[in-house]
Amino acid sequence: MMGFPRETVRSHILNAILLLQNDFDVDIIQLGALTTSVTDGGVWVAKQKEYKGFVNHGDSYTAAVTCQAVTKALDLFEKKSSDQVIAIVGAYGVIGEAVTKILVSQFKHSILIGRRTDKLQQLKKNVDGDFETTVELRTKEADVVVTATSHPDALLQSEHLRKNAIVVDVSQPPNLSLQVCKARPDVCRVDGGLVDFPFVTGIPGMAPGKNFSCIIEVIMQAMEDERENHVGSIDLAYLRKTEKWGKKYGFTLNELTNFGKKIEGVR
């Protein structure tokens, strides 16, 4: 996908959506992984007249679960957010922006990281708390790192992480590899965006009883028969609604995992 022109990729995405609409009567589409970023958070899909249904990037519940994972990880290691420095990589992205708005005010200091200065400047207007923005990967200065990027490769290496860092990795593919985790047992990597999915087992590549929160979000939207688009920047009021849905249906974050393996509070 990364090697093709954007319009070519968008055309393939739209063709797949129209196939689902016309041949299978699908009227709610959930975008995943890089299909969200290449369609401007789903905004482009929602504007296509050929598609008559609704589109959801699934990032609202993902952002909510990410914030929950940060809180649970700090609790697990008996740390207070008010004493910690957090770095958010991909801070102006769809997920990163929502996570930034929710978490920054809870931490001692925040380092908001992104590649584009103009986007970071725009983000500043919507954030409260003690923070700074940078285009440099200054994650080693942070006790807690949230990474929510569309980078196709593992972005974080051992030299980017301080001792005993907590990394909540929301990115797909992951931004922190299993190899680095093995080389740095002091670092706690947390699977971001995974929740309990107790009614289905055996999902390929997924730990038993788990599923991506982005997929869960659109499942819950269908179960609630909510006929709306959820694209672009996340509406925090809707994000809170997805949290209520999660509790209602039992699709919640109950334990922390790293590449599907349960994390214990000792290191």
pLDDT for 202: 64
pLDDT tens for residues 255-266?
999 988 889 865
pLDDT tens for residues 65-121?
999 999 999 999 999 999 999 999 999 999 999 999 999 999 999 999 999 999 999
For the chain, which domains are there? 61-195+256-262 (3.40.50.720)
The beta strands (E) that lie in the chain are given as 28-30, 54-56, 85-89, 109-113, 131-134, 144-147, 166-169, 188-191, 194-196, 210-212, 257-258, 261-262
Band (pLDDT 50/70/90 cuts) for residue 2 is: low
Instruction: Report how far residue 118's alpha carbon sits from residue 111's, in angstroms, rounded to the nearest whole number.
Output: 16
Two tokens at 42? Answer: 């789903």
Two tokens at 158? Answer: 């051992």
pLDDT for 6: 87
Kindly tell me if the per-residue pLDDT of 201 is higher than 90. Answer: no
Over residues 204-213, the mean pLDDT reads 82
pLDDT tens for residues 155-199?
899 999 999 999 999 988 889 999 999 999 999 999 998 999 887
Angle at 227 between CA 27 and CA 14, to 5 degrees: 35
CB 84, CB 143: distance < 8 Å: yes
> Which of 24-33, 46-55, 170-179 is the most confident on average?
46-55
pLDDT tens for residues 166-176?
999 998 888 99
Over residues 204-224, the mean pLDDT reads 89
